[in-house]
Amino acid sequence: MPTPTNASPTAVIVLAAGQGTRMKSDLPKVLHSVAGRTLVSHVLAATAPLSAEHTVVVVGHGRELVEAELASQWPKATTAVQSEQLGTGHAVSVALATLPEALSGSVLVLAGDTPLLTTVDLANLSQAHAGASATILTAHLENAFGYGRIVRDSDSTVNSIVEERDASDEQRALTEVNSGVYMFDLGLLRNALGKIGSSNDQGEQYLTDVISILRSEGHTVRAVETHESHILGVNDRRQLAVAGAVLRDRINDAWMLSGVTFVDPATSWIDSTVTIERDAVILPNVLLTGSTSVASRATIGPDCSLHDTTIAAGATVIRTTANGAVIGTDSSVGPYTYLRPGTVLGTGARAGGFVEMKNAHLGDGAKVPHLSYVGDATIGEGTNIGAATVFVNYDGVAKHETVIGKHVRIGSDTMLVAPVTVGDGAYTAAGSVITDSVPAGAMAVARARQRNILDWVVRRRPGSKSAQAAMADSTHTNSSGEGA
């Protein structure tokens, strides 16, 4: 009979074959996301620092989707297919069949729907396991309903795990529960799995039965306790939200301890994939997702949603939605601004209120202060884009580029019909429609000459308040040229 070996994590087995019917979703349960990662990716992120030689994910329901996630995010992980859902013991047997028969050491087994587990939890489990046949991660819950109970002998050693549906009233009163996270000696696990049956309420092969088998053969089984919140699994949308709130608090706490200011942590949602440097400030109602990064001294918020966006040192971003943008050093954005993919703001640049930008490069010190659309454009340093300017980049078939030089002044309400170039130091008159390139230093005027039709209101709107006001105005001139 194999004897226990040192508990180094030779292999990791993640159980991710279930459908998750209580999620009421077409998506496999382990692919639901929280804090920027899928449930199974959270689990694999916790196990990765253990540097196991083999990581096997057991797949079943929606296997193609789960395999695609693994290939994208965890290419070193392999999969084992559990075509029939015959229980956790069967799932582990399927996974072990993919590992070399001669493999020895310890194997970590855990579920793919436990996003709150930490690497520290797993390292503590591994440390405590040395010399044991099995070690269980447990927690004490005030309400243990639904969890397998840890049954201990009089000397406090672990005797068995009893599932809720199979437990006696006395066993249901126990508060120490099984997290579903185990470290096993590989050889002993293989041996015990061949002995488990399915004579239980569900007619399944329970992995928990391995514990009773190991104890009956005289092997040592240990338990390591962790915080109750760390073992919480996700079985429905409510539990998904609970996990999200726990992760939000955990992530925000970590950033605050590293030197980031959060004015209202409860309203700041930061993905686990986001990076923030010390001395950054996060104001209320901020959502940072994807690969967003925030540099030192930047201030974000209030009311921002930034995805895959880079914010450089000292930048200020207020009431802004951004996706795939780069916001330069000491630049300012907002309020009510929309930065779309490909937008790059240089040092000290400004994208002001009610401005939308897409695939646009705004040079150092350049400004789009308000009420403008800038698409497919390059704008030189020091240039000012007047209010209500539109970069007319789409002809109904293709997008075209506008190039604006350095220290240009674009008058308010200018339409720049691409493709067009405005040279360095040039001006455009307010209200112009620019369809031809403007030479450096030139003033472009592209609007009809104003003409005044005298007495039009008095003649066309007689008796109106406007006509009465006009007649009473000392500067009024009628169509004959005579004053009021």
pLDDT (0 to 100) of residue 1:
38
- Residue 311 forms beta bridges with which residues? 294, 327
pLDDT (0 to 100) of residue 198:
66
Q: Does the pTM exceed 0.85?
A: yes
Query: Alpha-carbon distance 113 to 420, whole Å?
Result: 54
Instruction: Indicate the pLDDT class of residue 394, thresholds 50, 70 and 90.
Output: very high
pLDDT (0 to 100) of residue 125:
96
Across 139-143, 428-432, 475-479, least confident range: 475-479
Tokens (6 digits) for 327: 């916001």
pLDDT (0 to 100) of residue 468:
94
The answer to whether residues 268 and 255 touch, using CB atoms and an 8 Å cutoff, is no
Query: Alpha-carbon distance 280 to 261, whole Å?
Result: 6
Decide the pairing of beta strands 37-38 and 33-34.
antiparallel
Q: Considering only CA atoms, which of 282, 5, 35 is closest in space to residue 126?
A: 5
Query: Alpha-carbon distance 52 to 100, whole Å?
Result: 14
The beta strand positions in 226-279, using DSSP E, are 261-262, 268-270, 275-276
**What percentage of residues in the chain have a pLDDT greater than 70?**
97
Secondary structure class of 296 (helix, strand, coil)? coil
pLDDT (0 to 100) of residue 7:
45
- Please report, as a single letter, which amino acid is at residue 299: T
Whose tokens are 């992760």? That residue is 247
Q: What is the pLDDT of residues 47-103, one digit of tens each?
A: 999 999 999 999 999 999 999 999 999 999 999 999 988 899 999 999 999 999 999
Instruction: Indicate the pLDDT class of residue 355, thresholds 50, 70 and 90.
Output: very high
More confident of the two residues 268 and 148? 268
Tokens (6 digits) for 197: 């049956």
Counting DSSP H helices and E strands in the chain, the numbers are 10, 39
pLDDT (0 to 100) of residue 84:
87
Decide the pairing of beta strands 158-162 and 78-81.
unpaired
The beta strand positions in 167-228, using DSSP E, are 176-185, 221-225
Terminal-to-terminal C-alpha distance of the chain: 116
Active-site annotation, residues: 370
Instruction: Indicate the pLDDT class of residue 157, thresholds 50, 70 and 90.
Output: confident
pLDDT (0 to 100) of residue 9:
86
Structural domains present in the chain? 9-231 (3.90.550.10), 252-444 (2.160.10.10)
Q: Considering only CA atoms, which of 382, 366, 362, 383 is closest in space to residue 374?
A: 362
More confident of the two residues 257 and 83? 257
Instruction: Indicate the pLDDT class of residue 166, thresholds 50, 70 and 90.
Output: confident
Cα angle at 473 between 467 and 474, to 5 degrees? 145
Judge if the upstream peptide bond of residue 419 is cis by omega within 30 degrees of 0.
Answer: yes
Instruction: Indicate the pLDDT class of residue 202, thresholds 50, 70 and 90.
Output: low
Q: What is the pLDDT of residues 368-389, one digit of tens each?
A: 999 999 999 999 999 999 999 9
Instruction: Indicate the pLDDT class of residue 16, thresholds 50, 70 and 90.
Output: very high
Residue 6, pLDDT above cutoff 50: no
Query: Alpha-carbon distance 216 to 202, whole Å?
Result: 23
pLDDT (0 to 100) of residue 197:
73
Rg (CA), the chain: 33
As a whole number, the mean pLDDT across the chain is 94
**What percentage of residues in the chain have a pLDDT greater than 90?**
85
The answer to whether residues 337 and 345 touch, using CB atoms and an 8 Å cutoff, is no
Dump the DSSP string for 373-395. EEEEEEE-TT-EEPTT-EEE-B-
Instruction: Indicate the pLDDT class of residue 8, thresholds 50, 70 and 90.
Output: low
Query: Alpha-carbon distance 89 to 203, whole Å?
Result: 12
Tokens (6 digits) for 221: 């089984």
For range 10-24, the mean pLDDT: 95
Q: What is the pLDDT of residues 430-457, one digit of tens each?
A: 999 999 999 999 999 999 998 999 999 9
